[in-house]
Structure 1
Amino acid sequence: MSRSERLLDLIQILRRHRRPVSGRTLAGEMGVSIRTLYRDIATLQGQGAPIEGEAGLGYVLKPGFMLPPLMFTDEEIEAVVLGSRWVAKQPDRRLSAAATDALAKIAAVLPDDLREDLDATALLVGPGAEATEGIDLGLVRLAIRNERKLGFLYRDGAGAQSKRMVWPFAIGFFDKVRVMVAWCETRQDFRHFRADRMSGLNATDVRYPRRRQSLLKEWRATLDTTQAGRDASKGTGR
């Protein structure tokens, strides 16, 4: 177990005890020496954890304490690094640069032992698949954040082209394609649009009439309904 994981475990153990608990009891629960326990208590106190008490009297964690956001377990560090490295290899240049910058910012404020874990992670991202976007996905992401309508030309799988005005609320990232999820005013329904088939993007200042969270929830419900129908057709629906 790494030191960072041990500190997190100590916080969780202290949370389970509403009254002062002796250092020996804590050390026994964690499987460490009493000396290591005292050192870990001092480290957490130095990082701002409101742990009251002292050797011989017992320790208690004051209620309401929130873990510092930059205390990660080994697996959390691996997840952050792997995800950031994957995004950094995507064709969306601004998002790629943002992933690299975010990882650098996290590394800059991590404790030394965690920073070493960050640099030494053995999880790697393979070469990205060749993908060509017909539009600037940065504009799509901006429209989603601001809940603004988007206009564009769309070419379907058969090559037929149509003009669309949509309410974008999500983007799906796949190995070879990016897919925008939106409410389409032309079709009056939810639609999925491949970014490589979109062109002539027109980012408007018109706010669409529904909240993004509401659209996302309703769209997910349609997926659940579709899946339930497929299960029923196979005789597995409940």
Structure 2
Amino acid sequence: MSRAERLLQLLQVLRRYRRPVSGQTLANELCISTRTLYRDIASLQAQGAIIEGAPGIGYVMKPGFMLPPIMFRSEELDALVLGMRWVADRCDETLSGGALGALAKIAAVLPAELRRELEESSLLVGAPLTRPAHTISPDLLRAAVRAELKLEITYVDGSGIQSRRVVWPFALVYFDQARVLMCWCELRADFRNFRSDRILSVEQKMERYPKRRSTLLREWRKLNQVASRTILPESDSMAQ
């Protein structure tokens, strides 16, 4: 690995940590000596990176430092292309356009060799299985999650029983054959998951729910240690 690549990787590692991290931890992750790490941090600080800390205390990078022209390893480019192509193929028009736009922006700032590698990637997304139609715009659901707004929904379960309830939406989960809105349900006073294709109507309450969505997500995770089993939409006991 060249020194430039190592400095870029150090920046990326520092960005992952929100609290001070020891020099030894950083050195171990980069497979370098602590002496080399201290020199690299001094180099980044000289280039304008706001890295606070000292040996024996730990380091944290403050936001705002702009990365140099984007560089990616081959596996990182593969992950980007495959992920963006999946979103473009599987998601609604808004997210599909966002994925293609983001990929174009990344390609525009890549060096010529990496841009060619991105454009010629042979990682493709297979044809999707048949997906149910959705009555409710996913833009509306995503907007409610971002703004932490209550929704009043009319929902029909797998048995055809309709219910009207007020929910606090805090996440939207994407599966190949379904989207699941994760909520706190006021009717049940508990967490509930709702398949978006079974939501018949939505009224945005313009009232923020009393907790932050990040708090709700943490609480949900504590209650559901194996998340993949809990949010699967196949059974109506999970997607109520």
Question: Is there any run of 5+ residues in structure 2 with no aligned partner, and where?
Answer: 11-31, 48-59, 229-240
The runs of 4+ residues in structure 1 deviating greater than 6 Å are 63-66
2:184 pairs with 1:187: no
Using structure 2 for the length normalisation, give the TM-score: 0.68
Deviates more, 1:72-81 or 1:10-19: 10-19
CA deviations over 1:213-235 (Å, ceiling 9, x no partner): 000000011111899xxxxxxxx
2:100 pairs with 1:100: yes
Q: Is the 8 A contact 2:168 2:184 kept in 1?
A: yes
Question: Is there any run of 5+ residues in structure 1 with no aligned partner, and where?
Answer: 22-44, 51-62, 228-238
Note the C-alpha offset of 1:201: 1.4
1:86 aligns with: 86
How many pairs does the alignment contain?
Answer: 188
1:134 aligns with: 135
Q: Is the 8 A contact 2:221 2:227 kept in 1?
A: no
Note the C-alpha offset of 1:8: 1.6
Q: What is the CA RMSD across the aligned residues, in angstroms? A: 3.2
2:171 pairs with 1:163: no
CA deviations over 1:186-222 (Å, ceiling 9, x no partner): 1110000001111111123111110010000000111
Using structure 1 for the length normalisation, give the TM-score: 0.69
Cα 1:67–1:130, aligned 2, differ >3 Å: closer, same or farther?
A: same
Report the Cα distance in structure 2 between the residues aligned to 1:139 and 1:160, rounded to whole angstroms: 24
Give the letter for the 1:93 counterpart: E
Give the letter for the 2:89 counterpart: K
Report the Cα distance in structure 1 between the residues aligned to 2:73 and 2:137, rounded to whole angstroms: 36
Note the C-alpha offset of 1:184: 0.5
SS in 2 for 1:200: strand
Cα 1:214–1:9, aligned 2, differ >3 Å: closer, same or farther?
A: same
Note the C-alpha offset of 1:129: 2.3
Note the C-alpha offset of 1:15: 8.0
Report the Cα distance in structure 2 between the residues aligned to 1:86 and 1:182, rounded to whole angstroms: 25
Cα 1:155–1:111, aligned 2, differ >3 Å: closer, same or farther?
A: same
Report the Cα distance in structure 1 between the residues aligned to 2:118 and 2:34, rounded to whole angstroms: 28
2:5 pairs with 1:8: yes
